[in-house]
Amino acid sequence: MVRSISPVIMANLREAQFRHAQYYRDVSADIGGIYAQGRENVSRSLDIFDRERPNLEAAFEFLTGVFPEEWSAALAQEAAVILISLVDGAANASNLRLRPRERIRWLESQRHAAQTARDMLAEARALGNLGVAYNQLGDARKAIAFFAQRRQVASKTGDKREEADDLINLGNAYLNIGNAKRAVEFFEQAIAFFRKTGERRKEGAALGNLGNAYFVLGDLHKAIDLHYQDLEIARETGDQLGECACLGNLGVAFMNLGHASKAIEVHNQELQIARKIGDRRGEGASLGNLGIAHKNLGDARKAIEFYEQQLKVVREIGDRSGEVNALFNSALALDKLGERALAIARAEAALKILDGIEHPNAAKVRALLADWRV
């Protein structure tokens, strides 16, 4: 015989679950506060996230199951507010620790909670972070759609900072679909705003992204100058994640100027920091960059070793953009070694992903495959 749980026991269980969720909301806030202090605190905050992750996930799962249809409207509202704070507090740590699809689930739940709580600022943050997550997955067009929704919601709140954050996000998304000139416009607006408000870390991020845009436009010396400005700010503010990204951008610029040895030096620094803070996406990017540098120095086999390491990392975290880079670059290296059949297989795998996200580089890969098959 199955016994039903008495209303009293159920009420006590719910109360205990709420207390647990409230406690881990505060733990999440502590994680975010420690991370924001930068430098060695980044690793410290990630250690806490790793240790408390099962409890944080349990609190998240409980809060996502609180619906007005089954609970009182007041309890559903309270759960929504707690969930918003839980996701916000662990935002930076979860970006480094959760796979993109897992993070998207957290952010979708936060967006739903924000709508339940009628918190437009929280909804705007969730939409913006969803756009970033899809951009990291290589789906820039979907990212742009989320950023457009975020701007629409943020404009109703009158919060200019929310709108300024979107300038960087939109710039990155347009850069990913090949529109560097439009990206420059967004980044320059963002830099002007963050200089006015004194938000140094965000100013640095915008400078670095502007450097990426000028790199695409072919002005490598201006790109390097902007990346060094970004690097100075990242080190000044203790932003190790930003420092890692900046070193990667610098290395790529040096490589394209023909300074392969300098590029390897910088990318090794990038890899060291990425592994230190557990930035798997950054680790994958630095491994790929080291592969390109060694290929340009004439060591295709060494390059392939790095591409294989990169491929393992990006597949583990679901980074489709990184997977395309690893597949395509390894195809080029394999072809250089005379292994055309393996090169074609790698390029075809890259093309399949590019076609799935309607990426402009798909035409380039398709044309190369046509030449190889002749």
- pLDDT tens-digit readout, 159-174: 667 677 778 888 888 8
Question: Interior CA angle at 172 toward 366 and 291, to 5°?
Answer: 55
Task: Give me the pLDDT at residue 98, please.
Answer: 85
Q: Establish how many alpha carbons lie within 13 A of residue 207's alpha carbon, considering only the half-sphere containing its beta carbon.
A: 24
Report how far residue 9's alpha carbon sits from residue 2's, in angstroms, rounded to the nearest whole number: 16
Task: Yes or no: say if 278 and 49 are a contact pair by the CB < 8 Å rule.
Answer: no
What is residue 2's predicted lDDT score, i.e. its pLDDT?
46
Q: Measure the CA–CA gap between 130 and 108, rounded to whole angstroms.
A: 8
pTM recorded for the entire structure? 0.67
The answer to whether 130 and 111 are in contact (CB under 8 A) is yes
Residue-wise pLDDT for 44-62, tens only, equals 898 999 999 999 999 999 9
What value, to the nearest 5°, has the Cα angle with vertex 158 and ends 155 and 159?
A: 95
Q: What is the mean pLDDT of each run of 10 residues along the chain (374 residues)?
A: 54 80 94 86 89 94 76 83 94 84 92 92 92 81 87 78 78 86 94 93 94 95 96 93 93 93 95 91 94 93 96 86 92 94 94 78 89 88
Position 1 scores a pLDDT of 46
How crowded is the C-beta side of 1, counted as CA atoms within 13 Å? 3
